[in-house]
Each structure stands twice: as structure tokens, then as C-alpha cells.
Amino acid sequence: MSWLNRLRPKSNRSEAPDFSAPALRIGEYLVTDVHSHMVPGVDDGAENLEQSLAMIAQLIEMGYRQSVITPHIHSDIYPNSIHTLRDPFQKLQEAVHARWPEFKIHLAAEYFLDDHFEHCIAAGDLLWFPGTDENGREVKCVLFEFGFHEPPMNHDHVLFELQMAGYTGVLAHAERYPYWHQSPQEIQGLADRGIWITVNAASLAGAYGPEMYRVAKRLVENNTARMICSDAHGLRHMESLEAIGKSPLVQHWLHNGNPASASLPRLQ
């Protein structure tokens, strides 16, 4: 718990997470981790194959059966595409298959909502992962994020284009956009328009402070959150997954909230 202890603020204990429930293996309930940075050397996640495999070993230890891996695609900072990602992902996939043949990984991406994302939608050039909607129909999911410092511009239009192209948008870490912390109707509005809302395990573990925790908690409490994700960039994020396995809030959601990651199709 060293990473969590270091980052967790000492004040405002009323918004501190509660880890008083008996531990459960969270991967047995979530089944698929749908947001992580484990393709070696392509973004700010795993630097090499050993780090990637160490993270996957932890997921397996916690009971997960599969993982959607989502490197950043951000035209200014991480100009990735299927062409830059295919080979390193394939090497990882071969190494995973050799060690854990039953554990499946799938390449998708975390798109920054910018002009490049809009071009990818128009070109039909998107890395997606399969999901199952409320009616049991298989849908194509695309993970995206906004910037942390300024509210997005034009996002309604871009997300409409994404949906018209036949995809279900999945918002990464909905609790991490400070400009919307006092306006929960913004995230709820996205959910009402069919965007799947996700929160990060680290926020629920308190690693990003009381404000992120408060917002993540509310999204889980009111069932707006469809998924809880590792957003793993390193082993420290696995500590958060393990920690929230003891959270009464998260356990209630696991049993009553119908986590969307548990009904993903089996990945190839």
C-alpha cells in the first residue's frame, strides 16, 4: 500500500475510502479489465515485456480472465496507430499465450478526443473491443478520454459521429475531469446519451485524493459507472484493484450494479 499511502491526503478523512469489508478477488467479479497501458514501450505504461507480464500475472492472481489493452492514441503526444501497435502487441500476446494460454488479451486504444480522433471515425480506422449491451446485443466499444485541464470543445458532435458510425463510446475515468466536479449533470448527460461511464480503481482507492474519490464514489453509488478499470500503467495500479476488493461501496456495486465488464464476450 506504499503508493496509496504516499498519495492519499491526510486531511478530509470524511471522503477517505473504507476498506473494512472482507477481501474478495475482484477479478472474479469484473472478469475483464478494459483499460490499461501494457503494450511495452508504446506510451507511458509498461516500459518492457517483463513489466507487462508482471502486471498480467497480478491480474491473473486477482481472478481476471482477460484484458483489453488500451495504449494512448493522442496525435501530439502518442501518435500511435494500428501500424505502430500491431507488432509490439503481437509479441506481448505470444508471450502471454506461452505462459497463460487461457488468459486472453485484446488490443484496443484510449483515444484523446481531438481532431485526429474525428478523422479516425470518418476513416473507419478505430481500435475497438467487443461489449454486450443491456439487451444482450454485441456492440463495438471505443474508449476515449478528455483533457484534464480544459473542458472539451465540440465533444457532443464528435461523440454523435462515433455513435452514427456504429460504435459505443466508453468514457475513461469520468471522475478525473476537475472542470466537471461541480457539475455532475455533464457526465450524467453523456450516460443518458448512451456513453458508457467508467471510473478508475485508483480513484476509488483514494490514490488521487478526496475530490476524485468523492466523484468516483458518487458515480458508483448511483450506478452511473458501468465499469471499474485498472488504467494500469504499472504495478502500483494493481495495488488499487486489490485494495478496492475490500471496499463495501465497491462490493455493493459488484453485487447489484451489473458490471459491464463481466458480460464482455470471450476475447480471441
Binding residues for Fe ion (CB under 5 A): 110, 231
List beta partners, residue 107: 69
Pick 24 or 92: Cβ nearer Fe ion: 92
Residue 50 CB burial class (10 angstroms; 0-12, 13-18, ≥19): exposed
CB of 110 to Fe ion, least distance (A): 5
Pick 24 or 108: Cβ nearer Fe ion: 108
CB of 35 to Fe ion, least distance (A): 6
CB of 37 to Fe ion, least distance (A): 6
Other Cβ atoms less than 10 A from the Cβ of 237: the count is 24
Pick 152 or 246: Cβ nearer Fe ion: 152
SS3 156: helix
Pick 18 or 44: Cβ nearer Fe ion: 44
CB of 173 to Fe ion, least distance (A): 7
State residue 160 phi and psi, 5-degree precision: -65, -45
From residue 140, give the alpha-carbon distance in Å to each of 22, 75, 116, 165.
36, 22, 19, 10
Residue nearest to Fe ion (CB): 231
Residues 6+ apart with CB under 8 A from 3: 207, 236, 239
CB 206 within 8 A of CB 16: yes
Pick 155 or 233: Cβ nearer Fe ion: 233
CB 53 within 8 A of CB 217: no
Pick 33 or 110: Cβ nearer Fe ion: 110
User: Helices then strands (H, E): number in the chain?
Assistant: 11, 10
CB of 132 to Fe ion, least distance (A): 22
Pick 16 or 209: Cβ nearer Fe ion: 209
Could you tell me which of 132, 134, 140, 139 has the C-alpha nearest to residue 109? Answer: 140
CB of 56 to Fe ion, least distance (A): 16
Owner of C-alpha cell 503526444 = 77
CB of 71 to Fe ion, least distance (A): 9
